[in-house]
Amino acid sequence: MNDSRLNVGLACTAAVVGAAVLNYAEVVSLIKDESGERVIGARIRDTLSGRIKYVYSLSGIYINSIKIYDSRTDCVLTEVLLDDLCATGVTRCNEFETFAKVVVNAAGPFCDSVRKMANSDVTPMICPSSGVHIVLPDYYSPEGMGLIVPKTKDGRVIFMLPWLGRTVAGTTDSNTAITMLPEPHEDEIQFILDAISDYLNVQVRRSDVLSAWSGIRPLAMDPSAKSTESISRDHVVFEDYPGLITITGGKWTTYRSMAEDAVNAAVRSGNLKPDNGCVTDNLHIIGGYGWDPASFTNEGLGKRLAHGYPFLEAEVAYCARHEYCESAVDFVARRCRLAFLDTDAAGRALPRIIEILASEHKWDKARQKIELQKGKEFLETFKSSKNAQFSDGKHNGKPL
Ligand SMILES: Cc1cc2nc3c(=O)[nH]c(=O)nc-3n(C[C@H](O)[C@H](O)[C@H](O)COP(=O)(O)OP(=O)(O)OC[C@H]3O[C@@H](n4cnc5c(N)ncnc54)[C@H](O)[C@@H]3O)c2cc1C
């Protein structure tokens, strides 16, 4: 599964069925009612240099413009003009307030920082655990075959599975601090290589690693539980401040059930009277039907972005227009998975991706330079064999 496509498909599906979707929008504080007893909204920072982008479903409804006000000063922060499916506005201030009957906190490993905005004394729910994955060439999983070892000699789980034309292997499970860009350690990569080598009759080389990355699992503890034994991989839904529902933990594979539990908790908290129950069970995700590959092959953007990978130039333009793609990193990491599949191929594709995004978003030369710099810095956090930092501190830079 290409989970970046599923993630974007979910956001776009939400927009189509009526949600206002914002990316690069950080909750910086929560707003409470006059008595201070209930959360009634959030203050949001636009982290994309003052520009906010919206996508709306316009089925049967026509809106010409929307104004966003600063509720404290009554000043208009922005006027958003709508055209077809997209609306773009330029803000004069990069923060604004939004109000809701119930606020749902789904900030993953960061959810405790949002809970602390309501009550600085709350007990943390998250026990962050880092997990490293590596990507190897396709010949490690021939003919779509994979391998999972439920218990290695030191008691861990290890797997090697076909993924998007390559082989993904993992994983580790270690305590970590919560950071935006966790990096895999060389010993974690080596652990995975050693563990899978035990089950193959070829030696797996460090130079075969096309990409390596680390993620933070939001292992959750029910704050109402009496002991830490409640830490689990299941999800937890909790309202520890009236009006603020936190949903965390869980798995990708259980996202619909998590959504349903969170929506039902929000209905109870806000005493809402919806016309129907949660619809997630039967909701089709955009991209899962009516799919036409020709959508990606117009305007002479038919070349592949990287040798050996299916991603087309036209996908960059499509993602910029329809999928909130606002940076080169968005594309290589969160619209396709090229950075995760092959870090060096992603690095080689960056200049062309930036050129197409520049034409879509009217970026000047200075912005293009910044994008290239940020893209390279981001890819440095992926430890392909080229990026390998060995224990003697040397940056190798050459295949082993
Ligand atoms: C190594 C690893 C392996 C995994 N393997 C599997 C697997 O095999 N199968 C499976 O089903 N699941 C797996 N998972 C679990 C799954 O990926 C996670 O459970 C899932 O990504 C968590 O989703 P989430 O939406 O809760 O959090 P996230 O995906 O972390 O999303 C939280 C979002 O909140 C945003 N945010 C944070 N603070 C703020 C703020 N103040 N304002 C606004 N936004 C904010 C963040 O930027 C982020 O985009 C794995 C996870 C890891 C790390």
Residue where one domain finishes, among candidates 167, 196, 218: 218
The CATH number of whichever domain residue 163 belongs to comes to 3.30.9.10
The Å distance, Cα 380 to ligand 1 centre, comes to 21
Cβ of 26 below 6 Å from ligand 1: yes
Instruction: Quote the mean pLDDT of the chain.
Output: 85
- For a pocket test of ligand 1, which of 110, 126, 189, 382 has the largest count of ligand atoms closer than 8 A to its C-beta? 110
Cβ of 249 below 6 Å from ligand 1: no
In a domain, 386, yes or no: no
The number of the ligand 1 atom at minimal distance from the alpha carbon of 254 is 11
CA–CA separation, 260 vs 258, rounded Å? 5
In a domain, 179, yes or no: yes
Residue where one domain finishes, among candidates 195, 218, 241: 218
The number of the ligand 1 atom at minimal distance from the alpha carbon of 180 is 47
Which is higher by pLDDT, 320 or 68?
Answer: 320
Query: How many Å separate Cα 71 from the centre of its chain?
Result: 30
Total number of domains in the chain:
2
In a domain, 259, yes or no: no
In a domain, 365, yes or no: yes
- Summarised one tens digit per residue, pLDDT across range 357-376 is 999 999 999 999 999 999 99
In a domain, 350, yes or no: yes
Cβ of 109 below 6 Å from ligand 1: yes
The Å distance, Cα 174 to ligand 1 centre, comes to 16
Cβ of 166 below 6 Å from ligand 1: no
The number of the ligand 1 atom at minimal distance from the alpha carbon of 217 is 53
Give phi and psi for 134, each to the nearest 5: -125, 155
In a domain, 284, yes or no: no
Tell me the CB-side half-sphere exposure of residue 278, using CA atoms within 13 A: 15
Residue where one domain finishes, among candidates 199, 218, 237: 218
- Summarised one tens digit per residue, pLDDT across range 292-324 is 767 666 678 989 999 999 999 999 999 999 999
In a domain, 162, yes or no: yes
Asked if residue 125 lies in contact with residue 115, where contact means CB atoms within 8 angstroms, the answer is yes
The number of the ligand 1 atom at minimal distance from the alpha carbon of 170 is 1
22's CB contacts (< 8 A; 6+ apart) are 44, 52, 53, 54
- Summarised one tens digit per residue, pLDDT across range 323-345 is 999 999 999 999 999 999 999 99
> 157: domain range?
126-218
In a domain, 266, yes or no: no
Residue from 53, 60, 50 nearest 18 by CA: 60
